[in-house]
Chain A
Amino acid sequence: MLLSGYDPVVYSRILTSLTLAFHIIFATIGVGVPLMIALAEWIGLKRNDEHYLLMARRWARGFVITVAVGVVTGTAIGLQLSLLWPSFMRVAGQSIALPLFMETFAFFFEAIFLGIYLYTWDRFRSRMVHFWLLIPVVIGSSASAFFITVVNAFMNAPAGVTVKDGKIIDISPFGAMLSPAMPTKVSHVLITAYATCAFVLAAISAWSLLKGRQHVYYKKALKLTMVSAFVFLIGSAIIGDLSGKYLANYQPEKLAAMEWHFETSKQAPLVLGGVLTKDNEIKYGLTIPYALSILAHGTPNAEVTGLNDIPADEHPPLWIHYLFDMKMALVALMTLISSVFMLVLWRKRSLAYTSKWLLRAVILAAPVAMLTIEHGWIFSEVGRQPWILHGIMKTSEGATASGHVDTMLVVFALLYLVLGVTAVRVLIKMFSSNRAEDEIKARGIEGGEEQ
């Protein structure tokens, strides 16, 4: 045993979070990169520019490695749901089997066409045929993110079910998919995945430019990815605001805990930073008057529910405030970097590809974006504790009672460590031994028009 007492609930929670934290890195890449590949291939075909086609090809090559890890860790979490949370899955099987089932179909569809896409680059007379093969991959990957987030939305705000004495008695399968949390969650997950992948791909080209490799290929790649990242970032900001308004209406305890809002009041202020004392006093925080009311309901005079009106055993942990503040700081950093890049690109284009500081900032934005994804999920998941099914089932009731969860935790931690390290090594080797400019030369590609 690792700790003094063996508690399967605690270990199940740690193991599930570990698997998900590792999986979402690859899942996010799996959702966003196909879209970027499609964009590059589309531009390449439309402009008849071989550089963009090569870009699609190189991204696809690296993508396969991440897909492999994504698929196997996705299988892991799929099975772990039943292995670690058998009582929860008994209930989930009744209520949300449908989106889980549809997710598998989407995954199936994506898997088939990804296999075809990767092996038919030069197989069709019309290159558009090959491009169209990518559309099912993009649809499949986004649809599986859609459906699995629908499941998560149900856990946050169950809908389409009648609950009596804490038991689900009547289910409408499609109604359960239309949880009030669904629209904001799904759109937020999708668009932030797109933004993150754009940043990750941008960092790769920025890295090459910073190393002094001035081929026009990297400039085209950097411009495409950074413009996409900027657009997706604006989208996520709008959806993020809608998510706040959703919380105020449906999960007020989460909003109250994340903003340390104790007394229900009108004209509620927003607290940035600060520390909480033992008697729930906020010290050193920066208070912005009215901001919470505006965030929650769109008007400064709106009433915001405070934690004191919520039973104490249903309070989420109060440290999610720090998580939320950190998340906002990370978002601010990304926004700053991409806005500055856009500004430079617009006013003084050549500087965008040569300024060392700007390129370094672009590289920094990639880990920041991935960190924000992790952060957002931890915040969202911890914020709905103690519930596994909001208002229906508490997390402690859903976990397995089986022994050996602690041993399994060690086994899986080792597995993810090995997989993570090898995947990164393989990816680095794959691209450092075959640089874009070498491949351009080897393939005899003429330079497309100068950007």
Chain B
Amino acid sequence: MSYEVLGITVLWVFLFGYLIVASIDFGAGFFSYYSTITGKRHLIHNIIERYLSPVWEVTNVFLVFFFVGIVGFFPDTAYYYGTALLVPGSVAVVLLAIRGSYYAFNAYGSKKNNSIYILLYGASGLLIPASLSTVMTISEGGYIDVDPAGKVTFLYAKLFTSTYSWSVVLLALVSVLYISAMFLSYYAKRANDRSAFEVVRRYALAWSAPTILSSLLVFFAIRGHNAEHFAKLQSHAWMFVASFACFLMAVYLVWTRKRLGLAFIFVMLQFGFAFFGYGAAHLPYILYPYLTIHDNFTSQPMAIALISVFILGLLLLIPSLYLLMRLFLFDAKYVQGKRAK
């Protein structure tokens, strides 16, 4: 494996990590808000808070890791994406800022739940996936223009009128709700919280069909937008078939209320197959057709240094993450709320 492929794989793994943990987080925020306005907050609030409180900070780091890493390995991405993404990127930053801080203000700051804080926190959680998914969209090419002098212009009108970009936004929104509800079902079941479980199970099942439908929509849209990529996607067809099989298994398990932990593993596999299948078909382009992973890859000593530091970092992170999960995810007493803070 060349350093380039190794580098992009590492980054893709982190982006996948972000996709999963952030979806749980964003979706939970939205459900928390939704349950407030529908009067079901008392049913699911405790479950959501018990999970989110110790992990909300960690979620953000996955994203920071990705964008710091990609500039390190592929410095040209800073130039192209940085110039093009000023507005959508800033919107995402503002939303992330509002969401993160108002979560903390509400969870730690106010004794009673402040409804404005909950609204800001819940609503921003749905807008963030939409704004972040713009990056995925423009990576397909066709939304930015590079003149011969190298000046990058972002074509807003094209992005806003394109079927492909809207199908990606739709997929992002729907999958956030689906992933989150699937996870919360597992968490509520572990907590032996029957009423919460029934609420989030209904959410999970309700969002499963839209998830698959919008994935199909993205496929069709990509066919019209970038035929080359679509052809490559077909050569990785087995990954998408596997993804669909995992989806069926996950929904079946939640439907029958059995083995919810396994069900969530199937959800991760479902998105894993689709995400890595999509990523593999996208290679070698980082930004079609201007930037491939071979253009201006970082110098060899820097690549080696980054990868070494990455491995050393993992040696530190994996045990720490394991500890975090053991204390707050797999500790039955904590999950059931029987432990004092």
Binding site for B on A (CB under 8 A): 61, 64-65, 67-69, 71-76, 78-80, 82-87, 89-95, 97-98, 100-105, 107-109, 111-116, 118-123, 136, 170-174, 400-402, 404-405, 407-408, 411-412, 415, 419, 422-423, 426-427, 429-430, 433
Contacts and interface: CB of A to CB of B under 8 A. Distances in A.
A122 B86 CA distance: 46
Nearest first, the 10 closest Cβ-Cβ pairs linking A and B are: A93-B75, A97-B72, A68-B104, A86-B82, A89-B78, A426-B109, A173-B305, A115-B54, A72-B97, A82-B82
Interface string B220-233: 00000000000000
B324 A116 contact: yes
Interface of B: 53-58, 60-61, 63-65, 67-69, 71-76, 78-87, 89-90, 92-94, 96-98, 100-105, 108-111, 151-152, 154, 296, 298-299, 301-302, 305-306, 309-310, 313, 316-317, 320-321, 323-324, 327-328, 339-341
A184 B328 CA distance: 41
A123 B334 CA distance: 10
Nearest to A414: B94
B54 A109 contact: no
A279 to B, nearest CB: 42
What is the predominant secondary structure among interface residues of chain A facing chain B? helix
B48 to A, nearest CB: 15
A404 B86 CA distance: 8
Nearest to A91: B75
A78 B86 contact: no
Contacts of A402: 83-84, 86, 152, 154
Given A83-B90, A105-B309, A116-B324, 11 more contacts: A67-B104, A75-B93, A78-B64, A83-B85, A83-B89, A84-B82, A92-B75, A112-B324, A115-B324, A119-B327, A429-B110
Contacts of B90: 80, 83, 408, 411-412
Given A75-B96, A82-B67, A102-B309, A97 B302 contact: yes
A31 B67 CA distance: 23
Contact of B87 (A89, A109, A113, A404): A404
B101 A105 contact: no
Contact of B302 (A94, A103, A111): A94
Contacts of B60: 71-72, 75, 111
A97 B65 CA distance: 12
A252 to B, nearest CB: 30
B109 A429 contact: yes
A136 B321 CA distance: 13
B340 A123 contact: yes
B58 A112 contact: yes
Contact of B327 (A61, A84, A116, A408): A116
Contact of B108 (A61, A90, A405): A61
A115 B341 CA distance: 12
Contact of A109 (B72, B305, B316): B316
B100 A111 contact: no
A165 B277 CA distance: 43
Nearest to B58: A111
Given A68-B101, A112-B58, A80 B93 contact: yes
Contacts of A433: 111
Tell me which of B73, B74, B94, B111 has the highest count of chain A C-beta atoms within 10 A of its own C-beta: B94
Nearest to B57: A111
6 contacts: A90-B76, A94-B75, A107-B64, A108-B317, A174-B305, A400-B86
A390 B53 CA distance: 43
A405 B152 CA distance: 15
A122 B340 contact: yes
Tell me which of B55, B72, B73, B103 has the highest count of chain A C-beta atoms within 10 A of its own C-beta: B72
B340 to A, nearest CB: 5
A41 to B, nearest CB: 16
B58 A93 contact: no
B97 A419 contact: yes
Nearest to A64: B108
Contact of A98 (B75, B154, B306, B324): B306
A94 B94 contact: no
Contacts of B152: 401-402
B151 to A, nearest CB: 6
A120 B341 CA distance: 6
A430 B57 CA distance: 21
B105 A86 contact: no
Tell me which of A69, A92, A108, A171 has the highest count of chain B C-beta atoms within 10 A of its own C-beta: A108
A68 B105 contact: yes
Contacts of B69: 101, 104
A105 B58 contact: no
A86 B79 contact: yes
B97 A94 contact: no
Contact of A400 (B83, B296, B313): B83
Contacts of A115: 53-58, 324, 328
A401 B108 contact: no
Given A75-B60, A101-B68, A401 B316 contact: no
Contacts of A401: 83, 151-152
A104 B339 contact: no
Contact of B93 (A79, A87, A107): A79
A52 B49 CA distance: 29
B309 A171 contact: no
Contacts of A404: 86-87
Contacts of B101: 68-69, 72, 419, 422-423
Nearest to A121: B341
B159 to A, nearest CB: 14
B86 A105 contact: no
A104 B320 contact: no
Given A98-B302, A104-B68, A415 B98 contact: yes
A111 B67 CA distance: 18
Contacts of A92: 71, 75, 78
A68 B97 CA distance: 9
Nearest to A97: B72
A411 B302 contact: no
Contact of A83 (B86, B102, B103, B321): B86
A161 to B, nearest CB: 10
A132 to B, nearest CB: 12
Given A119-B328, A401-B151, A100 B72 contact: yes
B78 A430 contact: no
A312 B64 CA distance: 39
Contacts of B320: 109, 112-113, 136
B9 to A, nearest CB: 16
B327 A89 contact: no
Given A79-B67, A113-B320, A64 B104 contact: yes
A206 to B, nearest CB: 23
A123 B316 CA distance: 23
